[in-house]
Every structure is written in C-alpha cells, then in structure tokens.
Chains A and B, each alone.
Chain A
C-alpha cells in the first residue's frame, strides 16, 4: 500500500534555552501510510512536528518534500506545500457554524462562499466518514466532531500530509474508534498521516510504521506489524516497563466523605453537577470516568471549596463542610491535586522550596514568629525532593524550570506529605510520561492503603480500571451508575460515557 517517500526530515536539530528538543532527528513519510510518532512527554514529538508545520525553524538539518529541499518559515508555507496539522486544542470559532469555520480563510468565492463549502463538507463526510452537520454551531459539537471539523479544514487547504497531535486525548473510546476508521480511509485515498501519540494501543491499531523518540533523539523506526507493545514501551522509556501497578493489601474502613444530592453551576450559570450522591470510605479509591466537560471539573471545585454548592451537602468525617473555603478544607485534611497543574498548582516564579510549603506558610514549623524559617523549609523540601524522586538541580530554582512530571511530583509531595484524610486527584497523570505515571499511580495506591480516601477523576479508562475500588461514570452532570472495575467491559463503560444508564447497559438495550 505505502508508496514512495514524499517527505524527508534530515538531521533536524532544535535547541531551546537549556535543552536540545530535537537532536539530529531523521524522519521520513511515505505516500499512503500512517506513521505513528511515539514518545513520552518532552521527547520532542511536538517540536519536530511544529518544525514541519513551520511554527519553529530548525537550527540545523533540512526538510525535503518530493525530494526537493524546502524552507518552511511559517504555517502558511507548510500549508502551501500540502501539510495540515490538527492541534490538541482546537482552533475554531465557537459561535460560528461548521461551514463558516471552514469557509474562514479557505473559501474561494466572494459571493455566497458557503455554498460550495457545504457541498464539499458533505462530500468529505461521505468519502472519509467525516460526518458533521455543516449548519451546526461549533459550540454544539462534541470534541470528536470538532476534531472532524479541524481535519476537514486541513483537507480544504489541500493537505496531503496530515499531522494529528495526540488526537485521542479528548475522545471517548467509541469516538477514538471512529477516528481510526477515518484515518484508515484517508490512507486508502493516498493521504499520508503522522499520528502523534504516547499510547501504545493506538500505535498497534492504526500505525503502519512507528518512529520512537526519547529525550530529543530518535531511537528507532520500525514496521508496526513486526513489533509489539512491550518492545515499543521499552524503546520509548529506555527500560522494561511493567504495566501492572502494585496494589497493596488494604482495609476499607468507615465513611470519610459523604456527598448528598449535590448541585453545582458552571461558569455560565447552568447546572453542571445535577444531584450527585456518593460516599468514599477510608482506604478506598473512588473513580470518576467520563468525557471532559460533563461536570467533573465543577464537582472537584465544589469538593475543594473553589465553587459554590447550590444545593445538597458535603460531609467530611461527620462534619458539614458544604461551602467551606479551600483553606479550611485543607486544614481539615482535604488535599487537592488540581487538574491544571501549572495554572493552579504551582507558583511558577517562586522556588521549589517555596512551592513545597504553599498553604502551610503560616504554619509551624515553617514560620517562626513573624518570619519564615527558611532553614526548616529547605530541609523539609530537600527531604520531599528525595522521597518523591523529584528531578531538580536544587530546591532554590524557580518551580517553572521543572518538567511537567516533576511539577506534578512536587504537587503530589506537597499534598500527600500532610497525611490527608481525603485526596482529590483530578487527572493526576494527564500528559505525564510513562515513568512519572507509574510512580504517581503507585503512590496513590499506597496512600489509599495507608488510610486516605481518594477521589480520582481521569479521562483514561485504564487508570480508572487500574486504580479504583469503585467508580462512577459521569455524563451531563449525573452519575450513569457506580460499578467495580471488571464488572463492565470497556465498550459498556464507553456507552455510559455517552449517556446510557447502567440499567440500560446491563439490560442490553
């Protein structure tokens, strides 16, 4: 199926202050192939693709398209050469319709530009399974549909090379399946696709070839049919990876956190959490699965005091803490690992050690009289850095200089080291590399065994399956049901994520 080489990147080097993001990387793409670009976060995948899309300029190396060297100084150049990119975060105008979004910038006609655009959208829908209503407003669309609009936009611009950056990170399992289907159809049509991912299952599912990057260097390019997930994981991480986490023996104790008929509004003033009730016991991990935007964020914010509860109660150790403020909740033993770790979880320009005592700066022993006791703070932080294996040159560097995984470990260290009764963990491993993910999952399991009640939100079903003792599937602000891992198949959980209730799923409807 795969034809001649249409794109070659040779010896690409890109340096950013302090790091070599791409270190002499060679990459090639054939006509009609799906080439998976695999690597952990920070391995240089996105940088390499940003170079190909003209967003960054390489410091060294050359790019050849159809055997001719090209200079890509901006995305405009890349588009002109038939390269399209679908970013992780969609770049659409929410208040416009699908057709208007596509027409924006790509319509050829001055009068009634939407006419031929709509026709084309329907045609792509037929040809590749990119089904989306041209007259629907973007804000009405699901993440999967928005992604299709982005792909259509790239096709409109004449893309024959399509870069998909972590395309499944926002999709349900079913939507991911549909995407794989679309991508395969496009391959049959002779398009070439670069599929950026760190999920091995996806590589095995859609990839023809896979290039593995690690720490800015290319490790290997292999035929997917001649490899296996274990080998890919080893190449990606640089060592053998265990896919199992240790689950220490533990006892489930008394109820620590009880939530009764909770109602919470979103930023637009509409109910985002609608009458949710649950309880978490000592030593238990209670998971929430679901597609982002179904009220998970609002639920977490209500539990941590960041958002008002309109109706219902939150009871912590028998005490009513409904609408208590975040400071009080932390003092009562509620730790919070926030979803937006850099936006919320750290103070980027303060040092690692200053970040390590956030929320505790007024407490003993970090404060002596009027002043902060920096000797104590430093030794405390150095202990945490050792214990949690945080990679930093010193505790006196600004927190922003840490990598994403190490920032997450810093937050984890801070939130866990106070022996909390409840840990609210929102997407704790989102975007982290395999090693950090493994570490954090093990650590959470260990904390539960140590007696903490853990509330875990994750879009990764694997994480929910692996960690939680019980989990709920959340859709449109409600629980579709609460089950134990193993009770339902992936597909059944996927159906619940799309709004089917447990009874319907079980009833086989």
Chain B
C-alpha cells in the first residue's frame, strides 16, 4: 500500500504529510521563532531535571550575553557569521560543506605562519597579507572535496568532514612540535606548554576598548554579507549556483560547467572560513593552541540554517547563537554545570531548526480514521 494504512490503528488519528506549495515569507520567520522557542522549552526541561530554576538560568544567560558580555558576544558572532556566509552559499548550491572547521583551521595556521615568517613587516603590510593568506588557505583546502565530488562523485559530506581531522592533526603537530612556544621570562626559558608564541604585535587587530571585538572583523562581515547578497541575487554566477541548488538536472541540461562552478563555490565557502580563522587569530586568540577551533565550523552550520537565505537573517542568527555560547559559558562557570551544557543547548537548537525546516516543507495533518 502506498501509505501507512497497514499500521495498527493505535491512535484515533493518523498523520498525513502534504508538501507545501507556497511558503509565505512571514511563515519562514514564524518557523524560525518557533524553533527557538522549542529549543528553550526543551532546555527548560533539562534545567528542571538538574534542579535549576529555568527562568533565572535563562535570565542569567541572556542578561550576560546581551548585557555585560555584549562585546564578547559580538566578537564571537563576527567569526561565526563570516563562516556561515560561506556555508549558506554552499548549502544553497547543494554542496554540503561540513568542513568549515578544517578550512577555518588551515586559514588560522597559514595566517600564523605568515606572521612567523615576516615578524618585522609593518602592520599595514602584514595584516592584509595574513588575512589574504587565511582566505587562500581555506579556499585551497576546499578544492579537494569540490574536485572529488564532480570528477569522481565522492560524497562531499564525507570528504569535508574527514579533512577536518587532518587539519586538526596538523594543528596539533605544529602546536606541540615546530611552532611550540619559546619564551624567555626573567632568564628562564619556558617550553612545553600546549601553545604557540603570540603573533607579532603589529598584526594584532585593534579592538573596541579592551574587548576582542575588532573593527576589521566587523568591516569584513559587513562587506561579505553584502557581497554574498549581490553574488547570489545579482550575478550570473549566483544564478548558476541557484540553478544547481534547485534543479541539478536543469543545470546539466543547460550545459553548466559543474567543475568550474563547484570550485568557485568552494573557493568562496572555504575562503571565508579560512578568513574567519585568520581573523579570530588576529583579533582574539593571538596564538594557536589545540582548542583553537572548538567547533566554530560546526556551530556556523546551525547559523547558516537558522539564518536562511537572507544576509540579515544570518547576522541575527549569528548574534543569537554567539549569545547562547557566551551566556552559556558564563552561566556554566557561575553554577558549576558540566562543560557539555553549552553543547547540549546548541544540539537542541539544531534539532529544533531542522524540525522547523520540516514544518516549512510539509503541512502536517491529523485525520480521524
């Protein structure tokens, strides 16, 4: 039988899914708000099971994230949004780039290497060079899955995901090996810590007050949000990306050059992740350590989904999720919750967003038997 009528009639209703023909814009927004509310509801249950008052928990989190900690939130948001812009483009063209984490890392590593190589260059030369290097490294790192997908039909989810681990191992090797910290303080040489030296002082981006929110990153995010919009909505290139994403058969029929287009797509998507890595290094962390990435590339996936196809949406989603992370860390420290708690919140949010996506695509109907 074509439908589920074979199942025993346990419930008085059966569920029927109808694909939505028309999705109004307001509904797109409603679905996303619903997803956020749903995740808050689930987290309420989590809090209650830990005997924590959920209202005071949320209050503590969000008051910190969007109050005292707003600059930290925005700083984190800039890095995440930069990655998410690239991911959103890739997803709209049906390229499932799960490898932003690795592209981000090779970007940071390359920027660090450039800084290490030219410690005496002036900031005006070194800063653009490091940022450019980060972009180029991420862009190149994204080419392998692009070529493998088009030429050999290798699933890009696998290749991009696996390349993350290679990048992480490369980071470990450099941090513990050749780039390990060598500092002489008061005649004593310190080595063996799991960090590198700081990047040259003149390459450290200037920030708002003594926060980690840099002017350069805000500028880059603004530029690339607009650029993404223009590319996707106004250029023949974005047109081709959208055709591939909406109907790959039509793209084939139209004679589109898949290899070239996919390589350009990953140049942008990987490049932005690499740029974000360089920016995070230069604005915030200043040195590499094993936990340098800590899942930024994955968090950005949630942002790209939650933000939808609209640059403002991506920016807002980025700030919201950065708020959860920053507020969550703060709350976690003050209440002594386990470290995994922020991760749980993010995971719950991703599932809620995916559930929202499902509601956006299908109308769920309950019918009496």
User: Which residues on A are within 8 Å of B, measured CB to CB?
Assistant: 16-18, 55, 57, 73-76, 91, 105, 304-306, 325-330, 336, 338, 340, 343-350, 354, 358-359, 361-362, 366-367, 370-372, 374, 401
Is B189 on the interface with A (CB-CB < 8 A)?
A: no
Chain A residues with Cβ under 8 A from B22's Cβ? Answer: 17-18, 401
Which residues of chain B have C-beta atoms less than 8 A from A336's C-beta? 253
**CB pair A327 B257 closer than 8 Å:** yes
A6 to B235, CA, bound (A): 61
Q: Is B68 an interface residue (CB 8 A)?
A: no
Shortest CB-to-CB span from B144 to chain A, Å, is 24
B5 touches A359 (CB 8 A): no
A344 near B367 (CB under 8 angstroms)? no
- The 9 A-B residue pairs with the shortest CB-CB distance, nearest first, are A327-B255, A326-B255, A361-B236, A74-B5, A76-B5, A359-B254, A344-B253, A344-B249, A349-B246
CA distance A101 to B43 in the complex (A): 50
Listed A/B pairs (18) with beta-carbon separation below 8 Å:
A73-B367, A75-B3, A75-B5, A76-B6, A305-B255, A326-B254, A330-B254, A336-B253, A343-B247, A344-B247, A347-B246, A348-B246, A349-B242, A350-B239, A358-B254, A361-B236, A362-B236, A372-B235
**The one of A305, A325, A348, A362 that contacts B247, using a Cβ cutoff of 8 Å:** A348
Q: Is residue B243 contacting chain A, with contact meaning CB distance below 8 A?
A: yes
Q: Looking at the complex, which one of B1, B21, B235, B249 makes contact with A75 (CB distance below 8 Å)?
A: B1
Chain B residues near A344 (CB-CB < 8 A): 247, 249-250, 252-253
- B182 CB–A CB distance under 8 Å: no
Asked if B94 CB lies within 8 Å of chain A CBs, one says no
**Cα distance, A76 to B21, chains bound together (Å):** 27
Is there contact, CB below 8 Å, between B2 and A343?
no
| New A-B pairs, 12, CB < 8 Å, besides A306-B252, A348-B246, A350-B239 | A18-B22, A76-B6, A326-B254, A327-B254, A327-B255, A343-B247, A344-B249, A347-B242, A358-B254, A359-B255, A370-B235, A372-B235
CB of B369 within 8 A of chain A?
yes
Residues of B within 8 A of A55 (CB): 2
Whether a CB of chain A sits under 8 angstroms from the CB of B240 is yes
State the CA gap A293–B247 with chains docked (Å): 24
A347 to B257 CA separation, bound complex (whole angstroms): 17
Q: Are A372 and B253 touching (Cβ within 8 A)?
A: no
Could you tell me if B243 and A74 are in contact, using CB atoms closer than 8 angstroms?
no
Which residues of chain A have C-beta atoms less than 8 A from B254's C-beta?
A: 326-327, 330, 358-359
Interface residue ranges of B223-264 to A (CB < 8 Å): 230, 234-236, 239-240, 242-243, 246-247, 249-250, 252-257
Task: Please tell me if the beta carbons of A347 and B240 are within 8 angstroms of each other in the complex.
Answer: no
Interface core residue of B246, B249, B250, B257 (most chain A CB under 10 Å): B250
**Closest A residue, CB atoms, query B368:** A73
* CB-defined contacts of B240 to chain A, threshold 8 Å: 361
Cα-based distance from A366 to B239 in the complex (angstroms): 12
- Contacting residue for B2 out of A75, A326, A361, A370, CB 8 A: A75
Interface core residue of A304, A347, A348, A361 (most chain B CB under 10 Å): A347
Question: Nearest Cβ distance between residue A240 and chain B, in whole angstroms?
Answer: 34
| Among B22, B234, B253, B254: residue with most chain A CB under 10 A | B253
Given the complex of chains A and B, what is the CA–CA distance between A74 and B369 in angstroms?
9
| B256 CB contacts on chain A under 8 angstroms | 327
Q: How far is the CA of A350 from the CA of B250 in the complex (A)?
A: 12
How far apart are B300's CB and chain A's nearest CB, in angstroms?
24
The minimal Cβ–Cβ distance linking B54 to chain A, given in whole angstroms, is 39
Whether B250 contacts A372 by the Cβ 8 Å rule is: no
Would B235 and A371 count as touching, CB distance under 8 A? Answer: yes
CA distance A55 to B1 in the complex (A): 11
CA distance A326 to B246 in the complex (A): 19
Residues of A within 8 A of B3 (CB): 74-75
A350 to B251 alpha-carbon distance, docked (Å): 13
B230: chain A residues within 8 A (beta carbon)? 371
Known A329-B255, A361-B236; judge A345-B250 contact (CB<8 A).
yes
